[in-house]
Chains A and B, each alone.
Chain A
Amino acid sequence: MVDQLRGKSAIVGVGHAGFGEAPGFSAYDIMAQSALAALDDAGLKLSDVDGLFCTMMEDAMPVLMAAEYLGIQPRYVDGTMTGGSSFVNYLTSATLALQAGLCDVALICYGSNQRTASGRLVTASKLPPYEGLYNPRYPISAYAMAAARHMYEYGTTREQLADVAVAARAWARHNPEAFERDALTREDVLGARMVGDPLTTRDCCLVTDGGGAIVMVRADRARDFPKAPVYVLGSAAASSHRQISQMQDFTVTAARDSGKRAFAMAGVTPGDIDVVELYDAFTINTILFLEDLGFCAKGEGGGFVADGRIAPGGALPVNTNGGGLSCVHPGMYGIFTVIEAARQIRGDAPGLQQDNVELALAHGNGGVLSSQVTAILGAASTV
């Protein structure tokens, strides 16, 4: 059944706005600018949009606020909130809605002004009742405890964690859109201020403003737009917990499950993927997801990322825009994994465009390793 959705929807426009600092702009302003950019990329207008897929850090009903701001009355909306993975998850719901005829033009969008508004990583959630009392630094403490357990069980080192940040920065240095482009060494990461052992500030994602948007249509009309379509070949979600204390195994995420099903739906394997875009909120994320998605065995992620294997010129291009660690991280990063994957396939990535990209993986993470959503995107040649 799910196989019938393979390649039935396509991304025909992507856009972004407000990367880095957008002083004086609200989160909804940045969302709207991103939406306009994506629609312009697709050669469409706001009045063409009849399906809206959006969540924001602000407000309890963000998808309604977004529709109101944009001045549209969509006949289908989805505001499911699974944290930063939400926007990868919308690839599935948009595909379903398009395929069922519930809408014809789906707009996925997001924006945040967290850097200029507060300067802190803004989260949409209150701390859970049985955890808040202990004053964990949310979400860093949760990821720090996952990293500590991975180090304990598999001998993963702080140097290996640092190599993830160094690789991300190496990609970002070539990307004019990236927020942090100064050189970064392993020593810089290790010597940075410790915020939650074993993670330093350089093991943590950026705090920036920014927004992103994606326009999707049914595959049967995907060639009628200016840019080469990018097809959704597979997409799958897995949810394992909400509170970090309820995570069954701190070294294994639900990406193992979402990845397996997304690959099965797409009919491809990790070895087929040309570029990998992972939600790297913290350096441990990249290691966990490379393991859980099948790019290396459990426990071998630390060694896998060492020696520049995921950096420019390495065997596996990972987070080719610089990721949440060095490109952009406006509270929720998930949509940017899809945007960079689509641009790599189209051949118009802003930084280091890889050669002959036909298959890309975008992986979203939400909460505290709670929600995992994997999407496999492909060029026309892969459908």
Chain B
Amino acid sequence: MPENQGPDKTFRDGLAKGQINLQQCNDCKKFIFFPRVLCPHCKGQSLTWHPASCGGIVHTTTTVRRKPERGGDYNVCMVELAEGVRMMSRVDEISPAEVTIGLPVTAFVGEIDGVPAVLCKPVEE
């Protein structure tokens, strides 16, 4: 990963290539999200990028109700990745009503309005 640019750009460059990368603190070993120049846990400044495992669990969820003519209902959720970080996301491939707390999901890079975004889908059985 390039060292001479900000962490937000590094994260977005990864998404543009279809990769989800997360920063890990070299001092306390915790993973962090959102990307930043310090560890919010131990305040260490030595962070290394790693490809995310992409395994996660829906921590909490809501259905945003929207009129059908405007595109219909959609999901907004909090996904907790195996690395212990939490981020806002959306579960695709199932209806919003089927997204439940505790649902195992796989994170992947999709698109929202043409912008690369971390999305999730249910883990295949």
Q: Do chains A and B stick together as partners?
A: yes
B60 touches A134 (CB 8 A): no
Q: Check if A195 sits within 8 Å of B101, measured CB to CB.
A: no
Q: How many chain A residues have a CB neighbour from B under 8 Å? A: 26
A195 B60 Cβ-Cβ under 8 A: no
Report whether B88 and A136 are in contact in the complex, using a CB–CB cutoff of 8 Å.
yes
With known contacts A134-B89, A134-B112, A197–B62 Cβ distance under 8 A: yes
B64 CB to closest chain A CB (Å) equals 5
Query: Which residues of B from 47 to 104 have beta carbons under 8 Å from A?
Result: 59-65, 74, 76-78, 86-90, 97, 101-102
Closest to A151 in B: B101
Per the 8 Å Cβ criterion, residues 221-273 of A in contact with B are 243-246, 250
Cα of A130 to Cα of B86 in the assembled complex, Å = 11
Do B64 and A245 touch (CB < 8 A)? no
Determine if B34 and A130 form an interchain contact, defined as CB atoms under 8 angstroms apart. yes
Q: In the complex, are the beta carbons of B101 and A148 less than 8 A apart?
A: yes
A351 at the interface (CB under 8 A from B): no
Contact B8 A134 (CB under 8 A): no
B117 contacts the other chain (CB 8 A):
yes
B112 with A196: CB separation less than 8 A: no
A149 touches B101 (CB 8 A): yes
Cβ contacts A174-213/B at 8 Å (1 or 0 each): 0000000000000000000111111000000000000000
Question: Is there contact, CB below 8 Å, between B101 and A135?
Answer: no
Contacts A130-B34, A130-B87; is A136 near B60 (CB within 8 Å)?
no
Residues in chain A near residue B59, CB distance under 8 A? 149, 250
Of the candidates B33, B78, B88, B89, the one having the most CB atoms from chain A within 10 angstroms of its own CB is B88
| Pairwise interchain contact A133-B115, C-beta atoms closer than 8 A | yes
A135-B74, A145-B78 given; A197·B88 CB < 8 A: no
| A93 interfacial contact with B, CB 8 Å | no
Chain B residues whose CB sits within 8 angstroms of the CB of A148 once the complex forms: 60-62, 101
Contact residues of A between 131 and 146, Cβ < 8 Å to B: 131, 133-137, 141, 144-146
**Binary contact readout A143-165 vs B (1 if CB under 8 angstroms, 0 otherwise):** 01110110010000000000000
Shortest Cβ distance from A250 into chain B, in angstroms? 6
CA distance A243 to B78 in the complex (A): 12
CB neighbours (8 Å) of A129 from chain B are 8, 34
A198 to B62, CA, bound (A): 7
Do B61 and A134 touch across chains, with their CB atoms under 8 A apart? no
Residues of A contacting B101 in the complex (Cβ-Cβ under 8 angstroms): 148-149, 152
Decide yes or no: A141 and B60 within 8 Å by CB, A130-B88, A134-B89, A245-B88 being known contacts: no
Closest A residue to B111 by CB, please name it. A133
A134 to B117, CA, bound (A): 9
Asked whether, in the complex, the Cβ of B61 is within 8 Å of the Cβ of A195, the reply is: no
Task: Find the residue from A149, A198, A245 having the highest chain B CB count within 10 A.
Answer: A245
The chain B residue with its CB closest to the CB of A131 is B88
From residue B121, how far is it (CB to closest CB) to chain A in Å?
15
- Known pairs A129-B8, A149-B101, A152-B101; A134 contacts B62 (CB<8 A): no
> B90's closest neighbor in chain A, by CB?
A134
Q: Which residues of B contact A145 (CB under 8 A)?
A: 60-62, 76-78
Q: Which A residues fall within an 8 A CB radius of B?
A: 129-131, 133-137, 141, 144-146, 148-149, 152, 193-198, 243-246, 250
Q: What are 27 of the A-B contact pairs (CB < 8 Å)?
A: A130-B33, A130-B88, A131-B88, A134-B89, A134-B112, A135-B74, A135-B112, A136-B64, A141-B62, A141-B76, A144-B62, A149-B59, A149-B60, A152-B60, A194-B65, A196-B65, A197-B63, A197-B65, A197-B97, A198-B62, A243-B88, A244-B88, A245-B78, A245-B86, A246-B34, A250-B59, A250-B60
